[in-house]
Amino acid sequence: MDKIDFSDKYFMQQAYKEAREAFNKDEVPVGALIVSKGQIIARAHNLTETLNDVTAHAEMLAITSAAENLGGKYLPNCTLYVTLEPCTMCAGALNWAQIGRIVIGAPDERRGFTRHQPSPLHPKTEVTTGIMAEECAELVKNFFKNKR
């Protein structure tokens, strides 16, 4: 069983708010935040269309912002909350950042990092899944339904 902090749902709700902001900008609705010592130190949503940049995923922007905030590029005592399972790019970045923990909303069977072996994550990174999974998945589903 995954470990669930009492505050995971609260922080995922905040990440979900970010995902909704992306939705409202016609971006694939994914939101992320990074928490250190119970404080949100970075929040971001997907901006690949707005910035015309495939690397501008919510997780990447959050990692860059958290490192700037902390003044150090490693995040071993931080938790990333993200509404959708990170892709390989983001998992690779989270590995370099040595993030302590990742909390994931909905799984991404097509592009999620868990399809890849060995895991692209750092071996010390803890992973919790399924927090607000339905709401997070529904948002992405609605986004793509509107596109068809």
88 binds its own copies (CB under 8 A): yes
* One of 4, 7, 26, 53 touching its own copies (CB under 8 A): 53
Gap between the Cα atoms of 148 and 138, Å rounded: 16
* One of 100, 120, 136, 139 touching its own copies (CB under 8 A): 120
Residue that has been written with the tokens 């700037």 in this structure: 68
54 binds its own copies (CB under 8 A): yes
Task: Give how far Cα 13 sits from Cα of 90, 115, 123, Å.
Answer: 21, 26, 27
- The catalytically annotated residue of 49, 59, 126, 135 is 59
Is 59 considered catalytic here?
Answer: yes
**Shortest Cβ distance from residue 51 to its own copies (Å)?**
8
DSSP state of 54: T
Q: Are 34 and 102 in contact (CB under 8 A)?
A: no
47 binds its own copies (CB under 8 A): no
* One of 40, 89, 127, 133 touching its own copies (CB under 8 A): 89
Strands lying side by side in the sheet with 39-45: 39-45, 31-36, 78-84, 101-106, 126-128
Which residues would be at the binding site for its own copies (CB under 8 A)? 48, 52-55, 60, 63-64, 67-68, 71-74, 87-93, 95-97, 115-118, 120
